[in-house]
Amino acid sequence: DQQVKQNSPSLSVQEGRISILNCDYTNSMFDYFLWYKKYPAEGPTFLISISSIKDKNEDGRFTVFLNKSAKHLSLHIVPSQPGDSAVYFCAASDKGSSNTGKLIFGQGTTLQVKP
Amino acid sequence: NAGVTQTPKFQVLKTGQSMTLQCAQDMNHNSMYWYRQDPGMGLRLIYYSASEGTTDKGEVPNGYNVSRLNKREFSLRLESAAPSQTSVYFCASSVGTTRETQYFGPGTRLLVL
């Protein structure tokens, strides 16, 4: 049972346009969400996070939006650059895991930004 | 500053063979994790160690064992490898809470024939 779902395996956008990556979750106890980025042959690296007490968090070109009622979050990249081409993983944790660092990851979305 | 290191980078095993994947971190982190990444499945947690001396099962622990040798090192052992364990394995570490970033190693690609 996939608690964190990224239903779009891939996304292709033009350089300079907006990229929107989506993530849905089923566990209402999740209270902290993260996005990780992964290049081929490398480990994932942290990108941005959001607590459930917020509905938006911004860091440069990256913004994460959280809609708790819909159990949905999205990552916006504006403007998209070719170097953003990577696999993006959504992850979540619940309060019960706050002392262990345990995360549940989605399946990942492969973003391709075309020059 | 190496961060999280994993050895080996790539390994081929025959069904039934055993092996240990090694992971070490030099960031003085309390928590360490082992994940596997499979196509269409994302990253799934195998085992984790919230602190030195403790280990707990994650989502997919069957067929694996772990050892938190000390604060720096966390190894993953396959006692009798199966083709279903063909995957890319990532080790990660964090200060200790979910509010802290997890830092990942470069991964070990394992092929079980």
pLDDT for B2 equals 77
Q: What is the pLDDT of residues B54-113, one digit of tens each?
A: 999 998 999 999 999 899 999 999 999 999 999 999 999 998 766 778 999 999 999 999
Q: Beta-strand (E) ranges in A6-79? A: 10-14, 19-25, 30-38, 45-51, 56-59, 62-67, 72-77
Residues of A in contact with B90 (CB under 8 A): 43-44
Instruction: Count contacts between A and B (CB, < 8 Å).
Output: 75
pLDDT for A99 equals 66
Interface probe with B: pick from A6, A105, A109, most Cβ of B within 10 Å: A105
Is residue A99 within 8 angstroms of chain B, CB to CB? yes
To the nearest whole Å, the CA of B95 is away from the closest chain A CA by 8
Measure the CA–CA gap between B46 and A45, rounded to whole angstroms: 19
Nearest to A92 by CA among A106, A107, A103, A102: A103
Containing H/E element for B47? Answer: strand B42-49
Containing H/E element for A110? Answer: strand A109-114
Average pLDDT on B7-18 reads: 96
Q: What is the pLDDT of residues A43-88, one digit of tens each?
A: 999 999 999 999 999 999 999 999 999 999 999 999 999 999 999 9
Residue B85 CB neighbours (<10 A): 19
